[in-house]
Amino acid sequence: MTEVKVKEFWRWKEYNWHDENKDWKGAETITAGVDVGSVSSQVVIMVDGELYAYSNMRTGSDSPDSARNAMNWALEDTGMALDDIHYIVGTGYGRVNVPFANRAITEIACHARGGNYMYGPSVRTILDMGGQDCKAIRCDERGKVTNFLMNDKCAAGTGRGMEVFADLLAVSIEDVGDLSLDVEEEPEPVSSTCVVFAKSEATSLLREGWSKKKVLAAYCSAMAHRVVSLLDRIGVEEDFAITGGIAKNSGVIKRLEGELKINSLKSKHDTQIAGALGGALFAKSLAEKQRKKGA
């Protein structure tokens, strides 16, 4: 019997990075944020308030293991050990299951704080398009949350939904956005309330002879519609930024910007690390407070 090799089109790039030019050994404060999300986990390590290392990988079925794996990967080749980190904040849906965290903070607060670092203090609205939910967050110049809204009990408009579509159409998840923009005419969006319904709708469209690009366009458009209604409920104040994995999907972002008639800010950092980054920044404030208290 020959085994059929199935390509996992949904699989996005997992990676780690650290700043080879930075010497952390003399640092005063080393902190980390661990974001165990529903789909992906990230660890960000900061040295004296500057980004030093991070990792980004898929979340497994066990939250503590996912946190450990992501941490080990972020520490890889840095010479740093877990014990060298002064304060660790856990965030994401697995925030209470990070075994080595000193404190858990919600990803809503962390995305606002991380977004503030990534895009600057002028950001007032952050849209986090995560693995299994979307959050519209309003914040002040420090990255403190002033209001927020989450989507309800549905994975449409999220990373998981996009993965389902990548697999259905056998298109690599990283190509989905650009391909969806390569259509002559924008099609009507598919159902935006349920991934399963959207998938069955897409299957019938393919049967009708729609091209993959056109179906992707219809799905990206549905995702954009869905989050626009979430943003409308909370109100968008500029500057506006998007975090999370879907921020890398040009097909959703361009359509979203078109509907809002607002451009989102761009960052040199990976949009998926915003939550962990916010966690590491909170960890720095908390470490300093702890030190002051102890002194």
Give the footprint of another protein on this chain (CB under 8 A): 93, 105-109, 113, 142, 144-148, 150, 152-153, 282, 285-286, 289
Q: How far is the CB of 143 from another protein (least distance, A)?
A: 8
Smallest separation, CB 33 to another protein (Å): 12
Write phi, then psi, for 20 (nearest 5 degrees): -70, -20
Burial of 250 (0-12, 13-18, 19+ CB in 10 A): middle
Q: Which two tokens stand for residue 142?
A: 């420090």
Nearer residue to another protein within complex by CB, 109 or 273: 109
As measured in angstroms, the least distance from the Cβ of 208 to another protein is 31
Least separation in angstroms between CB 282 and another protein: 5
Q: How far is CA 106 from CA 15, 20, 34, 51, 198, in A?
A: 24, 31, 11, 21, 30
- For another protein, which is the closer residue by CB, 147 or 200? 147
Closer to another protein by Cβ: residue 47 or 286? 286
CA distance 141 to 28: 26
The smaller minimum CB distance to another protein, of residues 80 and 105, is found at 105
* Distance separating the N- and C-terminal Cα atoms of the chain: 69
CB 152, min distance to another protein, A: 7
3-state secondary structure of 69: helix
d(CA 110, CA 57): 18
Alpha-helix runs per DSSP H in the chain:
63-75, 107-119, 159-169, 176-181, 195-207, 212-234, 250-260, 274-294
The nearest distance, CB 106 to another protein, in angstroms, is 4
Q: How far is the CB of 105 from another protein (least distance, A)?
A: 7
Judged by beta carbon, residue 127 or residue 253, the one nearer another protein is: 127
> Which of 240/282 has CB closer to another protein?
282
Closer of 157 and 189 to another protein (Cβ): 157
Buried b (16+ CB within 10 A) or exposed e, 32-60: bbbbbbbbbbbbbbbbeeebbbbbbbbbe
